[in-house]
A and B are shown apart, each in its own frame.
Chain A
């Protein structure tokens, strides 16, 4: 089947729709990102945070966090949003998953562009170590369809999940080390750093640029989390694919 054409065309339309309805179109995503990061860098300025290192730390953290947050929040209502397609066509569910994946990646490209500009302006200085972020980025992209699938099934079988996940993600913005750094603090911050799966997704991309080394441990943890999501996603698609149409 030529299914990849379907999801690419649909994702293309999704982005195009945003262009057609507003003047700036997806550039709003960039504006949104710059506003957010600008607020943190300039408004919440303290002695600790007034450095190129912190700017890089927060701006990369925010790119990855925005991506994860948007992907997960859009995944939960995915099947009900695609209800008319699911009930009227025979497209496999995976098409909708890929459509959202492509859409999230395209949207993320705008904040990545903003982030690169900030990095260049921050005076951090470009280095070859930045390339070490690429394996981490690829890993996150590869994990995306699996994460989308799992949360989409969760949303279909358990409609309350939308509110639960929404709340968790909002709180997560502060519980995840997006803006704060972990320097061996104890208590809540210790748990919020080590027992938070998002930490590892952020670190695989951020550590090479912020501290110049390849984050082996976070990479392995992220890889295991991704494999687990793929295993669950394939299981769900295999066993419950045909039931979804009855649930939306």
Chain B
């Protein structure tokens, strides 16, 4: 059963943990998380007491100002960051898209990059070759697929990244606020693919400032502020139905 459950999750970034010969610079701006102290060390409390539960078919939109903790929360869900408090329980195969360029090598072609990205995500050679035509078709990159990745525009890179990440039907898909990079037609396609994914009873967690995207993709909405959950709402069911017609 695919599910995500967080209980009182907290994450503190410790500042100046590195050892250095020079005196550390202690100036800090006021945006975002709370800067506090713990055991004589300065910490940024990026997440505090975050609890929620997602079931198969849920599509959660994460909103909140810059520095609210959206990216940090996605990275905790993906398992890159170990939370400093609370528990995370995840059932299902997770794939994530944080940054378009992650896992892509500028000198290699789009095709070779799909292979690398697949290997990094733990796919087998056979799975990659099987999905290759579909990934290329979905990305609509055409002949550019055999051109080095460094010649791609941000939008083209986004197409490739999204196509590759969603090709193997991840059960849980995490996306950070980058999807706006593709053009309108691609965003439409991406939305449709996310709908399909959710219909197959997957879970999507999407951080975005794009209201219309959140509106059309998500069934739940969580507002983060200073690392705390400010509100968690479930959209009325008719909204979800309306999506199918568009």
Complex interface bits, B1-25 against A, C-beta within 8 A gives 1, otherwise 0? 0000000000001100111110000
Chain A residues with a Cβ under 8 A of chain B: 1-2, 5-6, 9-10, 13, 16-17, 20-21, 84-91, 156-160, 242-243, 245-247
In the complex, are the beta carbons of B108 and A13 less than 8 A apart?
yes
Known contacts A84-B99, A87-B80, A159 near B20 by CB under 8 Å: yes
> Which stretch from B114-122, B209-217, B219-227, B229-237 is at the chain A interface?
B114-122
A91, B121: Cα distance in complex, Å = 8
Residue in contact with B18 in the complex, picked from A84, A85, A159, CB distance below 8 Å: A159
> Nearest-CB distance from A133 to chain B (Å)?
35
Residues of B within 8 A of A159 (CB): 18, 20
Residue in contact with B102 in the complex, picked from A20, A21, A88, A247, CB distance below 8 Å: A88
In the complex, are the beta carbons of A90 and B80 less than 8 A apart?
yes
> Nearest-CB distance from A186 to chain B (Å)?
35
In the complex, are the beta carbons of A85 and B103 less than 8 A apart?
yes
Residues of A within 8 A of B107 (CB): 13, 16-17, 20-21
In the complex, are the beta carbons of B120 and A6 less than 8 A apart?
yes
Chain A residue nearest to B99 (CB atoms) is: A88
A6, B103: Cα distance in complex, Å = 11
Is B98 interfacial (CB 8 A cutoff)?
yes
Residues of A within 8 A of B112 (CB): 13
Q: Can you show 19 pairs from A to B with CB atoms below 8 A apart?
A: A1-B122, A10-B116, A13-B112, A13-B116, A20-B107, A84-B101, A84-B102, A85-B102, A86-B80, A88-B98, A156-B18, A157-B19, A158-B18, A158-B19, A159-B18, A243-B17, A245-B81, A246-B17, A247-B17
In the complex, are the beta carbons of B119 and A2 less than 8 A apart?
yes
In the complex, are the beta carbons of A6 and B101 less than 8 A apart?
no
> Nearest-CB distance from A161 to chain B (Å)?
9
Known contacts A2-B119, A20-B107, A158 near B20 by CB under 8 Å: yes
A79, B94: Cα distance in complex, Å = 24
Residues of A within 8 A of B115 (CB): 9
A2, B124: Cα distance in complex, Å = 8
**Contact count A vs B, C-beta below 8 Å:** 71
> Nearest-CB distance from B161 to chain A (Å)?
11
What 5 new A-B contacts, CB under 8 Å, besides A245-B81, A246-B81?
A9-B116, A13-B108, A17-B108, A85-B102, A88-B96
Known contacts A5-B125, A88-B103, A242 near B82 by CB under 8 Å: yes
Known contacts A13-B108, A246-B14, A246-B17, A88 near B80 by CB under 8 Å: yes
A160, B21: Cα distance in complex, Å = 7
Q: Which A-B residue pairs are the 3 nearest by beta carbons?
A: A88-B102, A17-B107, A242-B82
Which residues of chain B (117-169) have a CB below 8 Å from chain A? 119-122, 124-125
In the complex, are the beta carbons of B103 and A160 less than 8 A apart?
no
Residues of B within 8 A of A10 (CB): 116
Residues of B within 8 A of A88 (CB): 80, 96, 98-99, 102-103
> Nearest-CB distance from A164 to chain B (Å)?
9
Residues of A within 8 A of B116 (CB): 9-10, 13
Is B192 interfacial (CB 8 A cutoff)?
no
In the complex, are the beta carbons of A89 and B18 less than 8 A apart?
no
Residues of B within 8 A of A17 (CB): 105, 107-108
> Nearest-CB distance from B82 to chain A (Å)?
5
Residues of A within 8 A of B36 (CB): none
Chain B residue nearest to A87 (CB atoms) is: B80
Residue in contact with A90 in the complex, picked from B21, B79, B101, CB distance below 8 Å: B79
A157, B115: Cα distance in complex, Å = 33
> Nearest-CB distance from B178 to chain A (Å)?
11
